[in-house]
Amino acid sequence: MQGTSCQLEISGTDNTLNEEASWPELDHRMMKAATAVLSFAIALSSAVGGDEEGLLPEILKQGKKCVKDGNIDIAICNELLEKSGVNEDDPKYASCKCGLACVLKNFGTMDDSGMLKREKFTELKERIKDEDLKKEAERVFQPCYDTVGDKRDCEAGYALCKCAVESSETVKELLKMVMEKSKED
């Protein structure tokens, strides 16, 4: 989907972002944001046409809460996301890995035992109105879901995110945009 135009509108109680630009322009204009928080959930739910059910504002709310509650350092998470060859097991990345698990649990796509709930992801995917984004979600979802294996909690969230970001520029750009909004306040 790189090179195509998109309209992103995110409304919250404190800020509104209304960008019309190509994906490379979004990357150029936005600060490099950060963490593994929200990637796949964002890719699925932000694509819901018109966001009639308030899905994206809820994800932004949960993202902000998890960044704050988890004391997540966006710069450290950006390092994990952007740099190749980092030691993913370094303890400094622990809060970054747990960010997505926090959102997934709050959003109902991960149960209390730390297992992903395939049916919830499928429900979100089915609600995507834009056919190109729906195809992208279908292309990325199954292989990335399968990479999680028997991982739980933070490791499951990180495995899902890492795969989605590595597999899709669209997911990566959505993550950057939403994380930029999540760190505002």
What would the pLDDT profile of 129-148 be if each residue is shown by its tens digit? 777 877 888 888 889 988 99
CATH number at residue 18: 1.10.238.20
Question: What values do phi and psi take at 5, rounded to 5?
Answer: -90, 160
Closest CA to 139 of 158, 163, 156: 163
What would the pLDDT profile of 63-102 be if each residue is shown by its tens digit? 888 888 888 887 888 888 777 789 999 999 999 899 889 9
Q: How far apart are CA 74 and CA 92, in angstroms?
A: 12
Domain containing 166 equals 5-182
**Residue 60: is its pLDDT beyond 90?**
no
Number of domains making up the chain: 1
Q: Which two tokens stand for residue 109?
A: 């796509």
Q: Which two tokens stand for residue 130?
A: 């834009």
Q: Find residue 110's DSSP bridge partners.
A: 116
Q: Judge contact between 81 and 101, C-beta under 8 A.
A: no
**95 or 125: which leads in pLDDT:** 95
Q: Could you give the angle at which helices 153-167 and 94-107 cross, rounded to 10 degrees?
A: 90
| Phi/psi-derived region of residue 51, left when phi > 0, alpha when psi is between -120 and 50, beta in every other case | left
Q: How far apart are CA 180 and CA 118, in angstroms?
A: 27
What would the pLDDT profile of 38-57 be if each residue is shown by its tens digit? 444 554 444 444 444 545 66
Q: Which two tokens stand for residue 50?
A: 């018109």
Q: Judge contact between 92 and 108, C-beta under 8 A.
A: no
